């Protein structure tokens, strides 16, 4: 009699059950009460579907062989499965596939005869192994070899085409008995499905395939065609890409800080706004979408408050910008790796035919981090500095390892991950860089890994006669800040080109620098002589700078009485108001108008507020109002459970299984206190668990599995086998008791 799945699970050790929950995490949500619940969930179609997504090509072929052998209705010898697979699947490959199916509880039983979870039949293709349904009649008789030997060449071509799979074909000439299809139908070698469709019976397909009942199977992963790019070249290229990404993000933050784009009513960023951002960063729209998504995910950009929210930089930008390039890049790289979104979808059409916008909910894909790590892990298997022959070769290898994973965007997602990783510097020249390997294995070590990759910062520039300066590498932070203040980046890369203009020099002067400061910086930091044209530019702008001056005033105070103005200025309580006289009858203050008026009233004056037309303005407080915030998007997929958590789940199921066992009839009612004491004391001495049924102080019945530690004073004290907590149960409240068998 076949062994039920639940009984097979009961016979497995805790390590196997923990591995099952790790490989199929959906089985543990919510935590199963016992092994019966676990076995039931393991057979649900949706759970089996998810488990099969992790199987490679060979394991899926073995699963189809079990379906062909009807292992879901009765145990099937492994020898029969081996016969169906044919000579293309060697014994080691079959053993590895069987192990993968066993550890996921898709098949179970003794080593030589296995059963299949019934839901697997709904998961495999409609025609397992490319074979049709079994038929009755001539195709199922012993005369089949003679019938096949007598077919005409044109009829054999039809049969061989359908035997190669799929077994379904369309033919409008099937009704004509003189055609090859009509003759085959008449002899029972083809079955009619409808007026235009025929099907090859399984028996005919097996006979035509001979020693390969399931056809030719690919058990060897496709060649990836590795190419050596050179580890040093890859790392230097990745370092340049990392610096370029930081520069592009800085440009985005500066641009949106000056002209923030609006948040779409449906959420996200408009197409025109994305194009403007791409133009500002000098990248294409695909790269711009990635950078925008990273900026928001890293909380460097967010939605502003107000009735019309905008995408604006957050205060986190200041903290981020204060770090070195290694620390800033590490934030972006970790954000990208765990980003539960697919930026490659931006610009594509959704189901309604509308373009998908950046930062919208349509880009969200909770499983994107898993697929991203899978692509990087495939690259990490190659030697440092080695790249696959092409992105398509890597996609083919990953597709062979998990044919069911990824859906219709599977191969495109691999291309997107490689493109995004190249923008970040995680990948360069299609090879995984050293920082990329560290990102995958030890994210906390990103900063030192990138520091080794980046070129050493330089402390000088090369000034040229065309009012440009060339930085032959990444600049020291102080020099970079000063140069960003007095020049604009014209082109970035391994060597950055800065251009000096009248506007940039004026910006430096506005920031408090003097002409002498600029001349001194240029002379000290330039490895070439300072061009005369640049000296003239600085002097000319400085000569005209500041002839007109503006100041900040949040409020003003005016009166036709000059004496009253003088009295206000002379009053001792007016000092905190920071008043400054700009005309005989006008003073200004940097304080808000409300604070100014309150201060004057506190000093004994009676001022009134006025609007731009001179009318009296009512400034009474009407209460504080705020705009509702948009609800934040959910996090990505939950982390994998740890070993301790899995062990606790297994312990809980074991305890629940023990309770279910005693409920099925092994528990005995308590007859005397003596028998209860004897059983509890013997269990405590042998360190065995017992199941007890009891009634609490409110008369409510309960049950528990305990490992008794001490018995006395009318109380048993024991440790809960599930959570390890100590419990005390009065003996007189115990109604039934039974030992728990291991």
Tokens encoding 598: 């309150």
Residue 660 is predicted with a pLDDT of 64
| Mean pLDDT of the chain, nearest integer | 86
Residue 669 is predicted with a pLDDT of 53
Phi, psi of 712 (to 5 degrees): 170, 160
> In the structure, what pLDDT confidence band is assigned to residue 329 with cuts at 50, 70 and 90?
very high
What average pLDDT score do residues 208-236 get? 90
Whether residue 638 has pLDDT greater than 60: no
Over residues 662-693, the pLDDT tens digits come to 554 444 455 455 667 778 888 888 888 887 87
What average pLDDT score do residues 374-388 get? 95
Whether residue 709 has pLDDT greater than 70: yes
Over residues 77-115, the pLDDT tens digits come to 999 999 999 999 999 999 999 999 999 999 999 988 999
What average pLDDT score do residues 34-49 get? 90
CA distance 668 to 739: 10
CA distance 720 to 706: 5
CA distance 257 to 247: 15
Q: Which residue has the tokens 């398509």?
A: 392
Over residues 247-305, the pLDDT tens digits come to 899 999 999 998 999 999 888 999 999 999 999 998 999 999 999 999 999 999 999 88
> In the structure, what pLDDT confidence band is assigned to residue 323 with cuts at 50, 70 and 90?
confident
Of 345, 371, 372, give the one whose Cα is nearest residue 358: 345
CA distance 417 to 394: 12
What average pLDDT score do residues 204-233 get? 90
CA distance 732 to 715: 8
């Amino acid at each position: 009699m076949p062994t039920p799945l639940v009984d097979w699970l009961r016979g497995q050790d805790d390590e196997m059950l923990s591995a099952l929950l790790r490989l199929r995490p959906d089985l543990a949500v919510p935590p199963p009460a016992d092994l019966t619940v676990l076995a039931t969930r393991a057979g649900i179609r949706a759970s089996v579907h998810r488990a099969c997504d992790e199987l490679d090509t060979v394991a899926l072929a073995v699963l189809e062989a079990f379906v062909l052998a009807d292992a879901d209705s009765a145990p099937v010898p492994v020898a029969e499965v081996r016969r169906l697979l044919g000579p293309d699947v060697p014994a080691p490959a079959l053993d590895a596939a069987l192990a993968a199916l066993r550890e996921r509880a898709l098949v179970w039983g003794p080593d030589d005869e296995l059963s299949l979870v019934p839901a697997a039949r709904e998961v495999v293709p409609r025609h397992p192994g490319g074979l049709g349904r079994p038929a009755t009649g001539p195709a199922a008789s012993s005369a089949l070899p003679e019938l096949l030997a007598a077919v005409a060449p044109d009829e054999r071509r039809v049969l061989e085409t359908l035997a190669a799979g799929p077994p379904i074909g369309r033919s409008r000439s099937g009704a004509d008995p003189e055609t090859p299809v009509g003759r085959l139908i008449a002899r029972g070698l083809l079955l009619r499905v409808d007026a235009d469709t025929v099907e090859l019976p399984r028996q005919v397909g097996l006979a035509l395939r001979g020693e390969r009942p399931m056809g030719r199977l690919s058990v060897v992963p496709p060649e990836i065609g590795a190419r050596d790019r050179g580890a040093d070249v890859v790392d230097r290229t990745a370092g340049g890409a990392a610096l370029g990404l930081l520069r592009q993000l800085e440009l985005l933050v500066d641009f949106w800080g000056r002209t923030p784009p609006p948040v779409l009513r449906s959420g996200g960023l408009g197409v025109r706004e994305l194009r403007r951002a791409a133009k500002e960063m000098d990248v294409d729209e695909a790269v711009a979408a990635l950078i925008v998504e990273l900026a928001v995910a890293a909380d460097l950009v967010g939605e502003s408050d107000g009735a019309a929210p905008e995408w604006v930089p957050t205060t986190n930008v200041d903290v981020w910008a204060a770090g070195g390039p290694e620390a800033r890049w590490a934030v972006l790289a970790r954000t990208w790796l765990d980003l539960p979104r697919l930026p490659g979808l931006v610009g594509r059409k959704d189901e309604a035919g509308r373009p998908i916008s950046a930062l919208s909910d349509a880009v969200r894909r909770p499983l994107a981090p898993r697929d991203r790590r899978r692509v990087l892990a495939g690259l990490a298997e190659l030697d440092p500095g080695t790249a696959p022959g092409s992105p398509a070769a890597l996609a083919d290898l990953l597709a062979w390892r998990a044919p069911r994973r990824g859906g219709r965007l599977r191969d495109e997602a691999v291309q997107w991950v490689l493109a995004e990783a190249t923008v970040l510097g995680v990948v360069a020249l299609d090879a995984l860089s050293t920082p990329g390997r560290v990102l995958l294995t030890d994210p906390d070590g990103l900063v030192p890994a990138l520091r080794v990759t980046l070129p050493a910062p330089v402390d000088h520039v090369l000034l040229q006669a065309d009012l440009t300066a060339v930085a032959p590498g990444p600049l020291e932070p102080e020099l970079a800040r000063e140069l960003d203040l007095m020049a604009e980046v014209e082109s970035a890369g391994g060597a950055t080109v800065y251009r000096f203009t009248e506007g940039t020099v004026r910006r430096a002067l506005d920031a408090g620098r003097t002409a002498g400061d600029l001349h001194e910086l240029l002379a000290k930091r330039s490895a070439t002589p300072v061009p005369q044209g640049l000296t003239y530019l600085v002097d000319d702008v400085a000569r005209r700078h500041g002839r007109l001056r503006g100041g900040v005033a949040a409020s003003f105070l005016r009166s036709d009485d000059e004496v009253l103005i003088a009295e206000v200025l002379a009053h001792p309580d007016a000092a905190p108001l920071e008043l400054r006289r700009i005309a005989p009858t006008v003073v200004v203050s940097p304080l808000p108008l409300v604070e100014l008026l309150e201060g004057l009233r506190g000093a004994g004056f009676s001022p009134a507020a006025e609007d731009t037309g001179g009318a009296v303005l009512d400034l009474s407080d009407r209460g504080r109002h705020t705009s509702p915030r948009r609800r934040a998007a959910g996090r990505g997929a939950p982390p994998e459970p740890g070993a301790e958590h899995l062990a606790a789940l297994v312990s809980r199921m074991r305890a629940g299984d023990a309770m279910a066992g005693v409920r099925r009839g092994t528990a005995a009612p308590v007859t005397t206190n003596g028998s209860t004491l004897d059983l509890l004391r013997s269990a405590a001495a042998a360190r065995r668990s017992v199941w007890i049924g009891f009634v609490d102080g409110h008369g409510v019945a309960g049950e528990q599995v305990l490992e008794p530690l001490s018995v006395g004073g009318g109380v048993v004290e024991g440790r809960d086998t599930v959570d390890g907590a100590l419990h005390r149960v009065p003996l007189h409240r115990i109604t039934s008791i039974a030992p728990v068998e291991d």
